Amino acid sequence: MLSTLDFSSRLLLALSLGAAIGIERQWHQRIAGLRTNTLVSLGAAIFITLAVKIGGDASGRVASYIVSGIGFLGAGVIMKDGMNVRGLNTAATLWCSAAIGALSGMGFYPEAAIATSFIVLAHLILRPIGLKLGKNSFHPKSETAQTEYLISIKCKERVENHIRVLLLQHLGNHEKLMLRALTSSDNGDPANAIITAELVAVGNQDELMEKMVSRLTIEAEVMRVSWELTGQQSEL
């Protein structure tokens, strides 16, 4: 019989490991961040520990239901934007978080910790590799191709308007750049602001992105500026 102490320790492990995955996702401003991944892992662990307490073959059945159930949750974060599909990595991460919760709920502590480290490493290591491979495409790039970029700026709330104006001024100086969306959020911290700009460029403008980000980085009370290539190229 599963004791209360064992039950609590398994849920605590699921919460901690789910949070570890969520912190990395939150840092990169993904749709499903800290709380979502933590709750998915914790929920999976609760269902699994319930099955363990029931006994018999309930664990296997509940695990299969978790796999299919998370599939529906993941489908909710996948969005089609023109020729591109967004949210696939987020959906896959939620699926992995559920697996971590299931391992924790079954009491496989070392396996859950090892799996979590692999998931976080996959994001940290494979993401820059994927971006580099995308930039070094073997297909010739057309000068009229459309390229989509995402710029993320973290700054103090009191300079938010100044940074937004500065960003718009930079964009206005380049006819090959078009602003698709500009949003701001405090991400739960009213003292800070996170400005996100979705850009569409004519041709490959990686060098221009580097110059723009470098200029914004030296602004006072700007804590972090990053950019990434988000969309595949297509003929305009």
Into how many domains does the chain fold?
Answer: 2
pTM above 0.75, yes or no: no
The closest alpha carbon to 146, from 231, 78, 218, belongs to 231
Cα 172 to Cα 81, 132, 148, 175, 217: the distances in Å are 24, 28, 17, 7, 19
Boundary (domain end) residue, out of 110, 134, 158: 134
| Whether residues 193 and 158 fall in one domain | yes
| Whether residues 154 and 71 fall in one domain | no
Domain holding 197, by residue range, is 145-235
Q: What is the pLDDT of residue 235?
A: 39
How far apart are the C-alpha atoms of 223 and 153, rounded to whole Å?
8
Is 140 within a domain?
Answer: no
Boundary (domain end) residue, out of 134, 158, 180: 134
Q: What is the pLDDT of residue 139?
A: 47
The pLDDT tens digits for 76-125 are 777 655 545 667 788 888 889 999 999 999 999 999 999 999 999 888 88
The pLDDT tens digits for 34-43 are 888 889 999 9
What are the per-10-residue average pLDDT scores of the chain (236 residues)?
86 92 82 84 90 83 83 72 66 89 91 92 83 60 71 92 88 83 85 91 85 87 89 48
CATH code: domain of residue 203: 3.30.70.260
